[in-house]
Amino acid sequence: MRIDGSGTLRASCVLCPNPGPMTLEGTNTWILREPGARGVVVVDPGPHDERHLERVARTVQEQGAQVLMAIVTHRHPDHTEGGRYFSELTGAPVHAVDPEMRVGGAGLVDGEVLTVDGLSVRVIATPGHTDDSICLLLESDNALLTGDTVLGHGTPVIDGDDGLGPYMDSLYRLRDIAREHQVRTILPGHGPILSSPLSVLSSYIDHRESRLDQVRSALRAGATRVEEIIDRVYPDISEQIRGAAGSSVRAQLRYLAVRDELSAEAES
Ligand SMILES: [Zn+2]
């Protein structure tokens, strides 16, 4: 499926040409606009790729519209690095949870509804991929922008050793929200849009839970080092993403340690 230009009534994707193992087909920059309105919101300007950023600005201009606000879904450079140049191009502030990622913009708080020229998006804090990750609920389109919390294919890496607990909580919470608000479309930070949010979120949850079971088995079988666990749990992994797998395994170990402590307490 073609990603560039895909979307919903109010959201359309401009695909940045930065494909890679972590960025899949490239970063999806989303332009959000209430039909007939002039003001738009841009989600994740992308990396510092001037041609891409100029193309986003031009796309908005060609629609007779104007960027009033940019938002980043989390601090990673493939989403944020272009923020400064994009803000220079458009005059729009960049809002972010992480103060360092803001460009003349404000913070973003869980539950807050941003209203821009008739368009409403709700901020949902979804720590895990990074501790500052957010999703955006575009309720009028029954759509959820997920940044790197949910990808168009594959599953994201968790940044940092303490991210898995929050990430699991975020997935369960997103599934509840998707049910409650009848979300029909996921607009991810990378990869194609997804049209069955509940089954995607359930498979994410199942995938993580089964990985945790595999790590448990590796530990039971005597694995003691992260490298040994990677070899058992991810036997076909490419060298390119081995470091990322290591960070996943460390997160899994941390999560299991907390869980086991809790269950040990529960048993005693
Ligand atoms: Zn990314």
- Nearest in space to 56 (alpha carbons), one of 115, 11, 13, 3: 13
224 CA distance to ligand 1 middle (Å)? 31
| Residue 268 in domain | no
Please report whether residue 241 resides in a domain: no
Query: How many domains would you assign to the chain?
Result: 1
- Percentage of the chain exceeding pLDDT 90: 79
CA of 74 to the centre of ligand 1 (A): 8
How does pLDDT run across 166-187, given as a tens digit for each residue? 999 999 999 999 999 999 999 9
What amino acid occupies position 198?
A: L
Mean pLDDT on 109-114? 98
And the tokens for 143? 């759509």
Confidence band for 201, pLDDT divided at 50, 70 and 90:
very high
Residue 44 within a domain = yes
- In the prediction, which pLDDT does 260 show? 67
Q: Is residue 74 part of a domain?
A: yes
Q: Average model confidence (pLDDT) for the chain?
A: 93
In the set 4, 44, 49, 78, the catalytic residue is 78
236 in catalytic set: no
Q: Has residue 230 been placed in a domain?
A: no
Give me the domain span that covers residue 167.
11-198
- The answer to whether residue 242 sits within a structural domain is no
Spacing, Cα 222 to ligand 1 middle (Å): 35
End-to-end CA distance of the chain: 53
* Distance separating alpha carbons of residues 183 and 196, to the nearest angstrom: 9
Distance, CA of 42 to CA of 33 (rounded, Å): 9
Reported as a pLDDT band with limits 50, 70 and 90, residue 18 is very high
CATH number for the domain spanning 191: value is 3.60.15.10
Is the pLDDT assigned to residue 259 strictly greater than 80? no
Q: How far apart are CA 17 and CA 232, in angstroms?
A: 34
Residue 40: closest CA among 29, 49, 50, 27: 29
- Residue 162 within a domain: yes
Rounded (10°) CA dihedral 49, 53, 56, 58 = -120
| pLDDT beyond 90 at 77 | yes
**pTM, entire model:** 0.89
Task: Please give the DSSP secondary-structure letter assigned to residue 104.
Answer: B
Tell me, in angstroms, the distance from the centre of ligand 1 to residue 207's CA.
Answer: 20
